[in-house]
A and B are shown apart, each in its own frame.
Chain A
Amino acid sequence: MRKLKIKRYIDNSNVSRFRFWIQIISFFIFVYGGYFFIEIASRLPIFSCPYVQGSPGGCYLIGVQHELNTTWESMLSFRGLGILTSLGIFLLFFIFLNKAWCGFVCPLGTLQDWITKLRKFLGFSFTRYDEMSFKRLKSIKYILLVLLILIPLGIRNSFFGIHVPHGMHTPFCQICPARIILPLFTGDTSQIFIDFTDTTTIIMTSLGMMIAALFLVGSFVKKRFFCFFCPMSALQYIFSKISLLRMTKDGDKCTRCGNCYRVCDVGIREIADDIISKNIVKDDCMLCVKCVEACPEDDCLKISFAGMPIFNASQEGFFKRYTGSSLTEYIKSIEPNKENENESK
């Protein structure tokens, strides 16, 4: 009975508010944590941008690019074990978090949510990609993921007799907007530059500046603009199937009202259209749980951890969150007042 009460309380709660605070705490830890928790990176896998002065650790993507900047021979030696170890730690982190990393923890994602809030405050309208563009653009993150693996490998090894110039040592970090924007929160402007060392560095650093500008403008008109192109999102999705944190859908209960699609920041159409798949976590999903909150059908969308339900869609929760009252109270409030009706008669 008590269990049911707790579950009902959670299902009726406002997860978005909880997420808002988690995002603020995570942002603080990832940007300023180094000033307080100097040794945190040795204890936990920390995915903050290492270009931030107060960063308590490093993003896995810089680690993987560094590690792959090696010869095949070296990779097949004990060094390969190091690469596998860091991949293992990365996996361990995502077995627990799955793509909720993007929705709850990622500082760059948080920043995009804040920009969206600013846009709403200023009263500008947002845009969505049409279906065709959505399908075409979503492959970019996979292309970037493949490149960030192949380019560092191509520095030390030759591909068909071609060596990649050393100026592209951490190719994704050079173009990642986090490298330029997150240090600004600690007052560090040193990442705003063009490196004129050689043609490669000129191109890479210019691309970095361009993408940082597009990030800010894009996030202003499109919710979670950059997440759509983020190779970290692609890498996580590859291992999403083995995660303990899952989002499932019961297609039989779905009425295809489209609420879930309308609230989705990324604009995943399948969340509303797909009534066959059970696992509904798609590659662009960031497990922000907004769709579960917006679903008015009991147990249609479910968040579970290792098979244990955490947060389920419920009619009662839906009304509480969107009207601030329970379903019966809401019906009462919209019913015409009988006393007034009698008086008028």
Chain B
Amino acid sequence: MALFLIQSIYAQEIIWLSNTPPASMKDNVRASGMHRLSALKKGDTKKKKVYKTNADSTKKFKRKKKKSSYSSYGAVTNYVQWIRKGNSIQKPAYICIDDSTDYQLKLISPTGNEEKIELVKSKNCYLKFELNEEGYYNAYLIIKKAIGDTLYINIAKAELLSHSCRNGHHKKLEARPVMHYPEITEFEIIRERHPWEDFHYFSSSGEKESYKAFYKDKVAENVKITLYTEKGWSKTMHTDKNGKVNVQFLQDYFSKWQELNKRKIHYYMLAAEYTVQDTNEYKGKTYPYVHYTLTMSDGYRPARTMYTSMVWGLIVFLTVTIVSIAGIFIYKERRKKPYKELKFDEH
């Protein structure tokens, strides 16, 4: 069982939001939607109860329906994210935040509306929210702490793509607007969208992704960004004058092709650190320095080339083409009746 340590967050600590459930909650969580976001199973059990008997259903139909674009499909899905500490993705340290910590939770919908997100502190500790719109949601956990003349701001961010094929794909190109919210956090990192991205997009190994850092709505240069992969690899980069870093996800594991799981998501985490000399007021006191630590986690799947082969596709295609052409030719030739000259003996 994973231990949820309720604790104060120390300055400069890497705190991040993770989609991977702890072992103790694996049975209570399911992967939902195209992007396999973690969702509580509780919503499903509610739904099953609702329509079991007529008496039950009458009772439940009276229940005030929550305004949701999925409402016609039954229960509301509760999505979850876990708070984790440290830079190891494989050896998870799931934590909870104590009441003495100054933290703020924000969830912004694709249309820019602030939505409800709560920290659930029960046997397990997680962030719970609903995703009712199609598109990218931004979730933030912002922790502030002042030490000396520096204000430390830890921002754990998650870009969560909400999509269900049953809602249609008519807005598929609207899935990619890049959103950052300087009114919520002055320092932010976003993953730049590819022009071909749609609701079904998922990074894969070998693919290049670029991340852009912003400070007060302007691109931030020379921001230190470290990438941590599931297998423990890490790489530190600095943003260029356009505030960008480019990352290419390399496959860091090799299995037999029979054992390759094309749907397995390999998680990674980006941690950005940025210090600015800028007066900032916090709890009535002015601080000349602000140190930001921003984290963002996402995943990538094995490259398509790992489990598909175009060459074999072409071989099968051409073989069948040649064989069927030959077959038709032979069939037609055999149906041709040989020329026979009939001679009638008129005598």
User: A76 and B308: CB pair below 8 A?
Assistant: no
Tier of interface size on chain A: 35 or more
* CB 8 Å contact bits of B302-338 with A (1 = contact, 0 = none): 0010011110111011111100110010001000000
User: A194 and B309: CB pair below 8 A?
Assistant: yes
User: B166 and A206: CB pair below 8 A?
Assistant: no
* CB 8 Å contact bits of B57-96 with A (1 = contact, 0 = none): 0000000000000001110000000000000000000000
Given contacts A42-B168, A214-B320, 9 further A-B contacts (CB under 8 A): A38-B173, A39-B171, A79-B74, A82-B166, A193-B310, A196-B312, A209-B317, A212-B317, A213-B319
Is A195 an interface residue when CB atoms closer than 8 A count as contact? yes
User: A194 and B74: CB pair below 8 A?
Assistant: no
User: A196 and B257: CB pair below 8 A?
Assistant: yes
* CB 8 Å contact bits of A174-194 with B (1 = contact, 0 = none): 000000000000000110111
**What residue in chain A is nearest B44 (Cβ atoms)?**
A74
Is B180 an interface residue when CB atoms closer than 8 A count as contact? no
**C-alpha gap A67/B165 in the complex (Å):** 10
Is A251 an interface residue when CB atoms closer than 8 A count as contact? no
Contact of A192 among B73, B74, B196, B314 (CB under 8 A): B314
Residues in A74-103 with C-beta less than 8 Å from chain B: 76-79, 81-82
Is B208 an interface residue when CB atoms closer than 8 A count as contact? no
**What residue in chain A is nearest B325 (Cβ atoms)?**
A217
User: B166 and A210: CB pair below 8 A?
Assistant: no
User: B170 and A193: CB pair below 8 A?
Assistant: no
Contact of B47 among A77, A196, A217, A218 (CB under 8 A): A77
User: A197 and B324: CB pair below 8 A?
Assistant: no
**C-alpha gap A254/B308 in the complex (Å):** 56
* CB 8 Å contact bits of B161-180 with A (1 = contact, 0 = none): 00001101111110000000
User: B320 and A42: CB pair below 8 A?
Assistant: no
Is A300 an interface residue when CB atoms closer than 8 A count as contact? no
Is A205 an interface residue when CB atoms closer than 8 A count as contact? yes
B residues less than 8 Å from A196 (CB atoms) = 257, 307-309, 312
User: A209 and B72: CB pair below 8 A?
Assistant: no
A residues less than 8 Å from B310 (CB atoms) = 189, 192-193
**C-alpha gap A105/B196 in the complex (Å):** 27
User: B73 and A41: CB pair below 8 A?
Assistant: no
**C-alpha gap A212/B258 in the complex (Å):** 26
**What residue in chain B is nearest A210 (Cβ atoms)?**
B320
Contact of B313 among A53, A209, A214, A221 (CB under 8 A): A209
User: A209 and B51: CB pair below 8 A?
Assistant: no
The 10 tightest CB contacts between A and B, nearest first, are A42-B170, A213-B320, A193-B308, A209-B316, A194-B312, A213-B321, A192-B313, A193-B313, A217-B324, A210-B320
Is B260 an interface residue when CB atoms closer than 8 A count as contact? yes
Is B235 an interface residue when CB atoms closer than 8 A count as contact? no
Is B283 an interface residue when CB atoms closer than 8 A count as contact? no
Shortest CB distance B52–A (Å) = 9
User: B313 and A213: CB pair below 8 A?
Assistant: no
User: A194 and B308: CB pair below 8 A?
Assistant: yes
Is B48 an interface residue when CB atoms closer than 8 A count as contact? yes
A residues less than 8 Å from B121 (CB atoms) = none
**What residue in chain B is nearest A213 (Cβ atoms)?**
B320
Contact of A41 among B166, B169, B320 (CB under 8 A): B169
Is B42 an interface residue when CB atoms closer than 8 A count as contact? no
User: B317 and A197: CB pair below 8 A?
Assistant: no
* CB 8 Å contact bits of A293-336 with B (1 = contact, 0 = none): 00000000000000000000000000000000000000000000
A residues less than 8 Å from B304 (CB atoms) = 190
Tier of interface size on chain B: 35 or more
Is B262 an interface residue when CB atoms closer than 8 A count as contact? yes
Shortest CB distance A144–B (Å) = 19
**C-alpha gap A42/B134 in the complex (Å):** 14
User: B72 and A82: CB pair below 8 A?
Assistant: yes
* CB 8 Å contact bits of B39-50 with A (1 = contact, 0 = none): 000000001101
**C-alpha gap A53/B198 in the complex (Å):** 11
Residues in A193-226 with C-beta less than 8 Å from chain B: 193-198, 205-206, 209-210, 212-214, 216-218, 221
B residues less than 8 Å from A218 (CB atoms) = 324
B residues less than 8 Å from A66 (CB atoms) = 165-166
**C-alpha gap A197/B48 in the complex (Å):** 33
User: B260 and A197: CB pair below 8 A?
Assistant: yes
User: B316 and A210: CB pair below 8 A?
Assistant: yes
Is A58 an interface residue when CB atoms closer than 8 A count as contact? yes
**What residue in chain A is nearest B47 (Cβ atoms)?**
A77
User: B307 and A73: CB pair below 8 A?
Assistant: no
User: A195 and B308: CB pair below 8 A?
Assistant: yes
**What residue in chain B is nearest A53 (Cβ atoms)?**
B196
A residues less than 8 Å from B257 (CB atoms) = 196
Enumerate 26 A-B pairs (CB-CB under 8 Å) in ascending A order: A38-B170, A38-B172, A73-B51, A76-B51, A77-B51, A78-B74, A81-B72, A192-B310, A192-B314, A193-B313, A194-B309, A194-B316, A195-B307, A196-B257, A196-B307, A197-B262, A206-B316, A209-B317, A210-B320, A213-B316, A213-B320, A213-B321, A213-B324, A214-B320, A217-B321, A217-B328
* CB 8 Å contact bits of B20-60 with A (1 = contact, 0 = none): 00000000000000000000000000011011000000000
Given contacts A73-B48, A82-B166, whether A192 and B328 have CB atoms under 8 Å apart is: no
B residues less than 8 Å from A193 (CB atoms) = 308-310, 312-313
User: A41 and B170: CB pair below 8 A?
Assistant: yes
User: A209 and B74: CB pair below 8 A?
Assistant: no
A residues less than 8 Å from B314 (CB atoms) = 192
**C-alpha gap A218/B327 in the complex (Å):** 11
**What residue in chain A is nearest B332 (Cβ atoms)?**
A127
**C-alpha gap A212/B230 in the complex (Å):** 40
* CB 8 Å contact bits of A138-158 with B (1 = contact, 0 = none): 000000000000000000000
User: A41 and B321: CB pair below 8 A?
Assistant: no
Residues in A203-259 with C-beta less than 8 Å from chain B: 205-206, 209-210, 212-214, 216-218, 221
**What residue in chain A is nearest B48 (Cβ atoms)?**
A73
**C-alpha gap A127/B319 in the complex (Å):** 22
B residues less than 8 Å from A53 (CB atoms) = 196
**C-alpha gap A189/B324 in the complex (Å):** 23
Given contacts A209-B313, A217-B328, whether A41 and B308 have CB atoms under 8 Å apart is: no
User: A78 and B168: CB pair below 8 A?
Assistant: no
